[in-house]
Structure 1
Amino acid sequence: MRSMAEQVGTCATCGAATATSRRRHARYCSNACRQRAYRQRVSEPVTALDSFIGRDDELSRLKGLSDARLLTLVGPAGVGKTRLAKELTSGQAGVARVELASVSNVARACATALGIGEVTREPVLSTLVRALTGRTTVLVMDNCEHVVGECAALLEPLLLGCPGVRVIATSREPLRVPGEALFAVQPLPITCAVELFADRARANQLGLRLDDPEVLAALCMRLDRLPLAIELAARLVTVLPVRELLARLDDRLELLNRGNRTAAERHQSLRAAIAWSYGRLSADEQHVFRCLSSFPGDFGLDLAVAACDLPSDRVLALLSALVAKSLLTFSGAGRFEQLESVRLYGRERLAEQVN
């Protein structure tokens, strides 16, 4: 007869036998299985605890792109790409999510999210293609911007070899993979931006009265109608009246620094969100980015050339790169423009260079 210490159970990850002591039953047969289960739990979709506001039209249009094998949501920091991707795939079967912001090995991170174990002496990409052939799944790759090259190198053969796989990516720049469908995520319409601020402000201060729609609209416009900036500002209603908050927005990079404790570090403050993009620019791109901060409105190529002190063709190429990386907007008729929050960050970096 076996002793209590020798009795066996079943591993919750791989199904192998596990030992059971008098005090507790082992859920996993090894530490490797315990870690694999943890990574799988992290990658599972989580029901949002706050309301989703103002993206019905975008969701409708995105659902119309269901035939796209690779759909990339692109846009500036804090515009809501991650939340939109979650809402788009909410309730769907066969969805795996992988957060890439802190990842260096994209293929391994995707394999973990998909529950695919590595095979000795076989490249992870080969293992992925073999395991996913004939399988239907949606892979959501979040925050690809710092590993766009690795993502492209993974996705082209993966999509060619696995016809049942569809990928939804979020990034501040395109992945530039054949067949990629790009969807530019824009700041919220002003009515939805105001609704979002009111919803989050009242959650932070129950019973709060917001009875000046013009001030609310002005506040949200100054915040570029960016969901992250609006939500960070809504936390300040416990210490600042809305009108005073509006008056202090020239200092928003200092003010807006109280993100959710559970959020990624780059979403803890508006400055960190923009710095994440700035830190991934080349030296020349950073130079042009800083120089452009001297223009409070839109500007043309001639002004950019004068400010940057570089040849016209070089400036145009760098402007194109900043547009692609969602740090600059081409507004038509040869004009460019920066979001005010982005420009204020550039002004900080420019002041550092001058000093």
Structure 2
Amino acid sequence: MAESVGTCANCGAATATSRRKHARYCSNACRQRAYRQRVNEPVTALDSFIGRGDELSCLTTLQDTRVLTLIGPAGVGKTRLAKEFAGDAAWVELAPVDRGVARACVTALGIGEVADEPPLSTLVHALADKQLLLVLDNCEHVVAECAAVLEPLLLGCPEVRVIATSREPLRVPGEVLFAVRPLPLNYAVELFTDRARSNQLGLRLDNSEVLAALCARLDRLPLAIELAARLVTVLPVPELLARLDDRLELLNRGNRTAAERHQSLRAAIEWSYDHLSADEQHVFRCLSQFPGGFGLDIAVAACGLPADRVLALLSALVTKSLLTPAGGGRFEQLESVRLYGREKVAELSP
């Protein structure tokens, strides 16, 4: 794969990028500096919020929950839903944090660190008598550390509530899970129409069947729909629909200010895949050959592992929002996720 040179979003230095990797910063140091610059900025959205009214109503009934975790697959809109629901809550973006969740919280909340005191102790002492709604965004790669921080935090700070977004549960006492699903088809079409017309004023979109087919093929995922809507300036919608088998190449024009994993559909799915164990990755790839779903017997035959091991790995992939139970002991992958799996198979084939 040929490499090209990009520019670091923080310092302007050259960054090496490739077709599959989307480097926004030249180093981890620049990534952390950019994070520290953003943590205290207000969390706002500049575009319209479409199709989640029922979810917001349901979340309102859970507003007194101590730990509420929004879970769902890549690109389903967990962060955006949390922004709409949590309003002006304290916000901690964990995507750029490899370790140090407590320190990230201390930094985001503007709490001064205390010499010779662990950041978690500083955080608990500072919030012990505070009433606060804290949002931990993108927890999936640090779920164990989030759990280790949240239990003492909630025990020591009775008026603190937490909303987390993650592709898998945190598994802490008192956690309530809220599954964020792909949009209903009518709202998916409304979202595509809204974003497409923003990209090309005066655009006519009068073929409802093609629009519905396009959004269905995109798994009704908001990220995929918004990325596709950017292409209406160069591709008519019917041609865009016809090219969706190549969507991982096509859908790569995210907002410049978006997180790295939201710059393209491939990057969003890759974020999940890269955090799987080797066995989970193996099963994920093996299952990508079944567009109509599969049962345990087919999964065992495809993966070449004992049935109890395959079942455990299927459960892990369901937990990590990369596999969906389809009823009757069957499982499915979203089409975009399955296409990514097929791509990884092709990469690793001799």
**TM-score normalised by structure 2 residue count:** 0.89
Matches within 5 A, 1:269-348: 269-348=264-343
What's the CA shift string for 1:259-316, capped at 9, x where partnerless? 0011111100000000000000000000000000000012100000000000000000
What's the CA shift string for 1:224-253, capped at 9, x where partnerless? 000000000000000000000000000000
State the distance in 2 between where 1:101 and 1:346 align: 23
Aligned partner of 1:167: which letter? V
Aligned residue number for residue 84 of structure 1? 81
SS in structure 1 opposite 2:198?
Answer: helix
What's the CA shift string for 1:63-101, capped at 9, x where partnerless? 1101210000000000000000000012x4xx2101001
State the distance in 2 between where 1:329 and 1:41 align: 34
Q: Does 1:99 align with 2:96?
A: no
Aligned residue number for residue 246 of structure 1? 241
Q: Does 1:184 align with 2:184?
A: no
How far residue 44 of structure 1 moved from its aligned partner, in angstroms, is 3.4
Matches within 5 A, 1:136-175: 136-175=131-170
Instruction: State how many pairs are aligned.
Output: 317
What's the CA shift string for 1:179-203, capped at 9, x where partnerless? 0000000000000000000000000
Aligned partner of 1:346: which letter? G
State the distance in 2 between where 1:297 and 1:177 align: 35
How far residue 46 of structure 1 moved from its aligned partner, in angstroms, is 3.1
Is contact 1:44-1:96 (8 Å) kept? no
How far residue 41 of structure 1 moved from its aligned partner, in angstroms, is 5.7
Q: Percent identity?
A: 81
How far residue 45 of structure 1 moved from its aligned partner, in angstroms, is 2.6
Aligned partner of 1:43: which letter? N
SS in structure 1 opposite 2:134?
Answer: strand
Aligned residue number for residue 17 of structure 1? none
Change in 2 beyond 3 A, CA 1:57/1:129:
same
State the distance in 1 between where 2:333 and 2:229 align: 23
Most deviating of 43-52 and 295-304: 43-52
Q: Does 1:57 align with 2:51?
A: no
SS in structure 2 opposite 1:166?
Answer: strand
State the distance in 1 between where 2:266 and 2:210 align: 24
State the distance in 2 between where 1:40 and 1:267 align: 19
SS in structure 2 opposite 1:168?
Answer: strand
How far residue 138 of structure 1 moved from its aligned partner, in angstroms, is 0.7
State the distance in 1 between where 2:327 and 2:241 align: 29
State the distance in 1 between where 2:230 and 2:118 align: 47
Aligned partner of 2:49: which letter? F
Aligned partner of 1:97: which letter? W
How far residue 42 of structure 1 moved from its aligned partner, in angstroms, is 3.3
Aligned residue number for residue 126 of structure 1? 121
Q: CA RMSD in A?
A: 1.4
Aligned partner of 2:322: which letter? L
Aligned residue number for residue 72 of structure 1? 69
How far residue 134 of structure 1 moved from its aligned partner, in angstroms, is 1.1
Q: Does 1:47 align with 2:68?
A: no
SS in structure 1 opposite 2:133?
Answer: strand
How far residue 123 of structure 1 moved from its aligned partner, in angstroms, is 1.0
What's the CA shift string for 1:299-351, capped at 9, x where partnerless? 10000000000000000000000000000001221010000000000000011
Name stretches of at least 5 consecutive residues in structure 1 with no aligned partner. 1-34
Is contact 2:43-2:91 (8 Å) kept? no
Aligned partner of 2:50: which letter? I
Specify which of 170, 185, 189 is matched with residue 194 of structure 1: 189
Aligned residue number for residue 25 of structure 1? none
Q: Does 1:354 align with 2:331?
A: no
Name stretches of at least 5 consecutive residues in structure 2 with no aligned partner. 1-31
How far residue 114 of structure 1 moved from its aligned partner, in angstroms, is 1.4
What's the CA shift string for 1:34-79, capped at 9, x where partnerless? x99x947633333311100000000000111012100000000000
Aligned partner of 1:74: which letter? I
Aligned residue number for residue 4 of structure 1? none
State the distance in 2 between where 1:59 and 1:347 align: 35
Max Rg structure? 1
Is contact 2:39-2:107 (8 Å) kept? no
Is contact 1:259-1:269 (8 Å) kept? yes
